[in-house]
Chains A and B, each alone.
Chain A
Amino acid sequence: MALPQIKQDATDARLAALEMPQGGWSQAAREDALSRVRSMGLPGARDEYWKYTRPDTLVQPDAPKAALLDADEEPIFGEVDRLKIVFVDGVFSAEESDDLALDHVTIDRLADARDIHWAKDVYGVLEARGQTPVQRPLATLNTAFATDGVLIHVTGKAPKPISLIYRHASETSDAILHHVVKVDSGAELTLLENGPAAARFNKCMEVEIADGGTFHHVRAQGRDHERRAATAIFTRLGEESVFKSFTLTANGVLTRNECVIELTGDNAVAHVAGACVGDGDFHHDDTVFITHDALNCESRQVFKKVLRNGATGVFQGKILVKEGAQKTDGYQISQSLLLDEDSQFLAKPELEIYADDVACSHGSTSGAIDEEGLFYLRSRGIEEGPATDLLTIAFLAEAVMEIEDESLQDEINGRVEAWLSRRRG
């Protein structure tokens, strides 16, 4: 079927501005992705899936200019013993990165094109699976045109986290990165991500977790306010495997974080959580799709948004329980704390269930600061500003506590506290 003219034109214009990397094992996947993008077309304002978030600046040929972050604090995770991999405006920096060597892990770069690579079985594969029932063309565009990324194969318990650090150095940079993670049976990895990536950032990450594998992901986005980012995680879980992903987002005129999870092995566990804080023209969108396709799996979605001075938060979260996925335990909560009357939270929670022995719960709320709690804290001598901050941290707690490692929880809480106290001046 032909695309609507406006979508066709926008897609053609964007594709004309891009150049596909040539050669190597990924060539076939890239070409396949390109033909899929051509037939889908890039997101437009009329697409139902983009009803609450305008895709135009993510689709237009050139990245809108974004001022660099004038950082007044040390980057997060500085205290964590980790293997650092640095990308500056989407370009790998060997100088700033550690040696890509870690026990039980092999790390390669997507840009190092070879003819044979294990990643061929994952690259673009999970992304393509994630296109039904809802299309995600920006991720497909990414598969076709990603200029770099890391390919991580985990064969045992990684001795320390791998930390992807992004730096934004040019006001007009337009970065497309694609990471692939393959966690073998019984293997375990924690992946950290932080830093402003580029003026415009399209990032896709595919995570294949074999039976009994464990993958933890903790990400901090921000505080480069003017940047625009569309990120997508596609993961497939085997039997008794674990996937846990948490994202903190502070600032950003446009962030769309998609997460597509497929539970294909019995007794698998997938948690995805997000906490965000923003004000003014902050716009943050969490879009999640979880498919239960095996017995006795557990999924949790915990999303909390603190919005002020006209900020907008979006949540689209779906749990699909396929026929036969009995004993599914699904939980979904999305909440916003609106610190004034100008801010808004748009939520679309969905459940679609075809099995008859499942427990799925979902809830979505918007509210103001709890007056009882505020009075309690003030009656102990804590001023209204700091008391409001404490209650804001309390509001985000359920999401932050999805991070298993307590020291990482503290790092995240520290960032939120700093953000809040800066806002009070």
Chain B
Amino acid sequence: MLEIKNLHVQLEEEDKQILKGVNLTVEAGKVHAIMGPNGSGKSTLSYVLSGKDGYEVTDGEATLEGEDILEMEPEERAAAGMFLAFQYPVEIPGVGNMTFLRTAVNSQRKARGEEEMSASEFLKVIRAKAKDLKIDADMLKRPVNVGFSGGEKKRNEILQMAMLEPKMCILDETDSGLDVDAMKLVADGVNALRDEGRGFLVITHYQRLLDHIKPDVVHIMADGRIIKTGGPELALEVEHNGYADLLAEAV
């Protein structure tokens, strides 16, 4: 599904390497988790994959189902099936959540040469999906993320994911700022989307989220590289011992 080879990235503004040769393959139907200390490059990886400005790829490649995504615009990547659940979802006053989502769904459909979703069909689908995430009609009508609590914002991200049905989902610290109940709700939403044809890359600081979203593979990232890969037990090891031992090992 997602294949990253020897990815080197630096900030455009300054001559500073952030990613120093990342290798990673996420297969369809699998959940991969990336853990790592602050500043290890986890969020940068998610931004580079989804096409944010300000980063320069100096070496390596990234493909989604064999297609080079690094040359694509962010909207082209989205249409190709890439989705990033933001750590800090952006507030957009004056634009209704529903309008925004329908514009997004139909923009992607149009880009893929598919028929656009009618207003009534869209309404039917979104109501059902919103209900599962305990998102009420009022939240759908309100401007995008404006006045939403931390938990509501993250649930709204998952709703977008559910509506857009991407092939590859990247979750950037989706657990940050969530209480236990909210985390459970978000995790349930993610688990409902687990599917043979879909890959997940879950970026997190804590093992806690991975109790709810059970990963198939866990990677530890440090200083712009993946330094260790293992099964779910690796996350538990980090939880108990911290990163220090792993970092020492890597050196």
Contacts and interface: CB of A to CB of B under 8 A. Distances in A.
B86 A371 contact: no
Contact of A378 (B75, B89, B160): B75
A371 B53 CA distance: 9
Interface in A365-399: 370-373, 375-384, 386-387, 390-391, 393-398
A379 B51 contact: yes
Contacts of B86: 376, 379
B90 A381 contact: no
A383 B108 CA distance: 9
Given A375-B52, A376-B89, A390-B103, A381 B94 contact: no
B74 interface: yes
Taking residues whose C-beta sits less than 8 angstroms from the other chain, chain A's interface range is 20 to 34
A306 to B, nearest CB: 12
Nearest to A375: B52
B74 A379 contact: yes
B94 A379 contact: no
A218 interface: no
B103 A372 contact: no
A381 B75 contact: yes
A393 B103 contact: no
Interface in B96-111: 100, 103-105, 107-108, 111
A100 interface: no
Interface in A382-424: 382-384, 386-387, 390-391, 393-398, 400-401, 413
B239 interface: no
Interface in B152-210: 160, 164
Contact of A381 (B93, B95, B108): B108
Interface centre among A378, A383, A397, A413 (most CB of B within 10 A): A378
Contact of B143 (A377, A384, A397): A397
A382 B103 contact: yes
B159 to A, nearest CB: 12
Given A375-B53, A381-B78, A382-B104, A398 B73 contact: no
A386 B103 CA distance: 9
B220 interface: no
B79 interface: yes
B94 A397 contact: yes
A409 to B, nearest CB: 9
Contacts of A395: 94
B207 to A, nearest CB: 27
A221 B107 CA distance: 32
Given A379-B50, A379-B51, A390-B103, A384 B92 contact: no
B92 A394 contact: yes
A150 B30 CA distance: 71
A382 B92 contact: no
A413 B94 CA distance: 9
Contacts of B79: 381
B84 interface: yes
B107 A381 contact: yes
Given A371-B53, A373-B92, A391-B92, A379 B111 contact: no
Contacts of B103: 382, 386, 390
B51 to A, nearest CB: 7
Interface string B47-88: 000111100000000000000000001110111000110100
A378 B74 CA distance: 6
Contacts of A372: 90
Contacts of A382: 75, 103-104, 107
Nearest to B74: A378
Q: Which 6 A-B pairs have the closest CB atoms?
A: A397-B94, A381-B78, A381-B108, A378-B74, A380-B104, A376-B90
29 contacts: A371-B53, A372-B90, A373-B90, A373-B92, A377-B92, A379-B50, A379-B51, A379-B78, A379-B83, A379-B84, A380-B75, A380-B100, A380-B104, A380-B107, A380-B160, A380-B164, A381-B75, A381-B105, A382-B103, A383-B75, A384-B73, A386-B103, A390-B95, A390-B100, A393-B95, A394-B95, A394-B143, A395-B94, A398-B93
